[in-house]
Structure 1
């Protein structure tokens, strides 16, 4: 109650009591945690005593004219947790007590299926029917939430009467101007959340300040300076992946004359192939958005043209940003240069034909997603991984959903196993049981990346202001590359 009063005095328009997702209040409310035998446990009225006392204390201090909402999970999606049947009762009681609105969410910690914050593997707006059920039995506003990041989707849910309000958490982090852009009808200008969870939930779970893969300014808005420079520079950028694109955008915002060179035929770099595995198509929205932004900012883009030392010497730029990313690692495995060996990126993009029996060397995120992509094409796929488990570089919820696809499509997983030799028609593997030969029409290499920094080394002899970013420095992920690019472009 004291905290709520401070919020009111500070100028907030209302407060929300968080009674969902397995936090303390939710624990009292649900039998999957609450095993008490005193007046705070057992029957429903006892389990709700704690939240009732909290509400009474809050209302007594903020008054009747200050909105007090409550958020709760309609379905906790864990063994022994509450489902919609009891949540309907909760909703009516909350309304009777005097709560001004109900925020209907789902999930609790321990739910690896859809998660409190759902990843891209989970369908959009999947909890709205819970809100719709509750809306039928209460007379106060009902909020719905979860994977609703498109304004037209939100409008449709309101028109259908599913809820009275739409909550957009991650959508607002990705683009705080989303409502204004939607109001203006400029939906292509919206920087959509892609559901990756790397910067928001991923950072939160390790105790760091949240950020956003597609919005590198998140959390540091108060210290950023977007004012145009008085003396624009000529900036050349090598590489049209996420890092290079973001560097171009940031530099152009500052007023610099930016030209980007991409040796390939498309923009997006590895982000393009990353959108091909199951449920990851939304990654393409970032590339589309930033390409449109660069066009409006007047950035010159050259496809199928590599930035070279000679070109830099001829153009005489003030700054060169090297965003050449990484190249697939090809360890010294006997036979790795045979015709049946392809990279994960080429397999995903369809640049190569793959056979019916496929061995994927590497069971990290890239290898496992590629295996899922190929298995869904009715191929016989085996993953070879030296570590005890595959997908060890993924968070719990994304790993759970990817593993479910791998199981459904019967992808064979051989862990604590290494590839010894690649033959013309198979691979020799080795583990604790000794060596054996697996037949294979295609061998996909997904063994990580190494920095592609040859251009950076060559430029050091002809230019004194070269900035190297992203995977060209150290291979990591798109969030690091985009953040590097943003900071490099804005610092010029």
Structure 2
């Protein structure tokens, strides 16, 4: 399919873009501790430029030195210009256009205890007697001035455009929203007063950039989950003021980090693709501003439809370019089948960003994210035959990389299909894209020329027959069973058999296990069962879900009326009930069907590893074959092993 509108040029003042795709500001944790650009950031951005993106924005870039948190980019002092210039030079040399997002984070800078938190009004700090004070007029004036000075530095650093971030709970948004802003001076009260901070900042930016440089502004479409907050009508009026003050383009996002609306900022697979486009279309129509649409736009066909329907002038395609930096080129060249699609899992991008364990963001679909230089694929001088036991998402990842490096991988999969548990996960509600991604990866392996043997269990005899140079074990895990009386009754089954359609459950259903899989089974059975109760030993369900997916899943369970029982141990299963111990008391939960979802255990491969050891064949285990974890870990390990063989 030709995407003529998506890949058409657009000119905004003096900025000429080769297509209408924008790579947005996304936190990476790739900056230095003292906020400078790194080569890692340059490689990360340039990979997307080379991949065909029209306009690349930096991640949020702090404008005010006292409020600049560590590990985030800063443009608050002249000392940062040189590093930012190195970034823009690299983007320009690769054929791209560079934008900087000017940011004042407010409560978001609390990750750095030394950073100043600027808020419009006093806020009591929960659990203490301390009241965090609202900003003084002096601080407000300094902050406004800092936007102008940051804009001057952006011009010196060679940026082609600037984006003023006025959304997502950051300082401009907090001043604009009546939910946060309770001031009684000229910066509070009416919409005009609440908008004053942003309008002054916009004017300060405009005064420090060339007339022909366009100014973008990111806003939220409305205040979700904030009672008495901004309406879309308020945002439209604000955008009209901003247009008059010098804004040329409005980038319509959604969400805030003070409520469950944070799910809209980095929308997981649970949210509909393009869920925010109608808001962008309305704002565009009523303001006359050039408009960028945002929100789970993860394929070129959807982007083209949005542009053709005149709902927006440009589109943000962010995480899809994290998953595959060649997304734009592949879409333009009609090679969509080779695109590694984002599935909205959030495991590497958002969960990785908020995690204290991950040094920088990553991607389940693309372990090379943030390692662009280090993970560049080179052909091997010593091709090897590599037997891969297991055709799940990890085995496929290893096989494709090995094949690209010039090795000869052979996948042996015990079942009749590829994709493994990642494909199985796609049976759960709202996760169809995961199944599609798993099946697509299998087809990509076939297209790469990987030899695949289905219905083939790896045995020592098979290894002897194939005689590989190395072996990768990616056989995954199997559901754990309960070791209690009644666990083998005919009305008891496991989560995998339910999701795969091998077993059914009806009537009153009890799901034992309130982790991700147990909850997805509960959702899967909604409408198929009379009632559903989830029993969990821990003090809450969904402990193994990332924050944003957890919000969506818990909202769905509440809407569907699924009952959850926590701090409860299952001690026996009877023909028509499950016996639990809770708070020292024994209770019986009436049921017709029982589904066990207490986790998974690695499949045994001692025979394979022993044979390999005895015969001097290097053997590598990856993913759930080591221990049951998230798909993110499995793909990362497979990718790493395939790069060192």
Residue 414 of structure 2, aligned match among 263, 266, 286: 263
- Any idea what the Cα deviations from partners look like across 1:251-296, whole Å, max 9, x if unmatched? 1111100100111111111112211111111101221221122112
Moved more, 299-308 or 46-55: 46-55
Superposition pairs of residues 197-212 of structure 1, within 5 angstroms: 197-207=346-356, 208=358, 209-212=360-363
Q: Which residue of 1 aligns with 2:387?
A: 236
Superposition pairs of residues 361-380 of structure 1, within 5 angstroms: 361-380=512-531
Moved more, 58-67 or 192-201: 58-67
Residue 238 of structure 2, aligned match among 90, 102, 110: 90
- The 8 Å contact of residues 173 and 215 in structure 1, kept in 2 or not, is answered as yes
Question: 1 CA distance for matches of 2:578 and 2:190?
Answer: 61
- Any idea what the Cα deviations from partners look like across 1:164-223, whole Å, max 9, x if unmatched? 111111122122222212211222222221111111111112254111111221111122
Q: 1:329 to 1:463 in 2, by over 3 A?
A: farther
Q: CA deviation at 1:433?
A: 5.8
DSSP 3-state at the match of 1:17: strand
Superposition pairs of residues 395-406 of structure 1, within 5 angstroms: 395-406=546-557
- The 8 Å contact of residues 327 and 450 in structure 1, kept in 2 or not, is answered as yes
Question: 2 CA distance for matches of 1:74 and 1:201?
Answer: 21
Residue 218 of structure 1, aligned match among 369, 372, 389: 369
- The 8 Å contact of residues 351 and 547 in structure 2, kept in 1 or not, is answered as no
Residue 473 of structure 1, aligned match among 626, 635, 641: 626
Over the aligned positions, Cα root-mean-square deviation in angstroms equals 1.8
DSSP 3-state at the match of 2:216: strand
Q: CA deviation at 1:320?
A: 0.4
- The 8 Å contact of residues 388 and 471 in structure 2, kept in 1 or not, is answered as yes
Q: CA deviation at 1:151?
A: 1.0
Identify unmatched segments of 5+ residues in structure 1. Answer: none
Matched, 1:161 2:310: yes
- Any idea what the Cα deviations from partners look like across 1:44-83, whole Å, max 9, x if unmatched? 2322222223222222222212222110112121223211
Matched, 1:143 2:285: no
Q: Which residue of 2 aligns with 1:326?
A: 477
- The 8 Å contact of residues 417 and 429 in structure 1, kept in 2 or not, is answered as yes
- Any idea what the Cα deviations from partners look like across 1:399-429, whole Å, max 9, x if unmatched? 2221222223322212111111122333222
- The 8 Å contact of residues 112 and 396 in structure 1, kept in 2 or not, is answered as no
Q: Which residue of 1 aligns with 2:196?
A: 49
- The 8 Å contact of residues 148 and 168 in structure 1, kept in 2 or not, is answered as yes
Q: Which residue of 1 aligns with 2:640?
A: 487
Higher relative contact order (CA 8 A, sep 6+): 1
Q: Which residue of 1 aligns with 2:186?
A: 39
Question: 2 CA distance for matches of 1:9 and 1:323?
Answer: 51
DSSP 3-state at the match of 1:320: strand
- The 8 Å contact of residues 495 and 595 in structure 2, kept in 1 or not, is answered as yes
DSSP 3-state at the match of 1:371: helix
Q: Which residue of 2 aligns with 1:181?
A: 330
- Any idea what the Cα deviations from partners look like across 1:215-244, whole Å, max 9, x if unmatched? 221111122231111111110101111111
After superposing on structure 2, the runs of 4+ consecutive aligned residues of structure 1 that deviate more than 4 Å are none
Superposition pairs of residues 400-419 of structure 1, within 5 angstroms: 400-419=551-570
Question: 1 CA distance for matches of 2:430 and 2:527?
Answer: 12
Question: 2 CA distance for matches of 1:96 and 1:436?
Answer: 66
- The 8 Å contact of residues 220 and 254 in structure 2, kept in 1 or not, is answered as yes
Length-normalised TM-score, structure 1: 0.95
- The 8 Å contact of residues 192 and 285 in structure 1, kept in 2 or not, is answered as no
Residue 109 of structure 1, aligned match among 250, 253, 257: 257
Question: 1 CA distance for matches of 2:318 and 2:286?
Answer: 26
- The 8 Å contact of residues 577 and 591 in structure 2, kept in 1 or not, is answered as yes
Question: 2 CA distance for matches of 1:387 and 1:471?
Answer: 23
Length-normalised TM-score, structure 2: 0.73
DSSP 3-state at the match of 1:166: strand
- Any idea what the Cα deviations from partners look like across 1:19-57, whole Å, max 9, x if unmatched? 101112211111111122233222223222222232222
Question: 2 CA distance for matches of 1:293 and 1:125?
Answer: 26
Question: 1 CA distance for matches of 2:605 and 2:485?
Answer: 26
Aligned length, in residue pairs: 492
Question: 1 CA distance for matches of 2:465 and 2:272?
Answer: 51
DSSP 3-state at the match of 1:221: coil
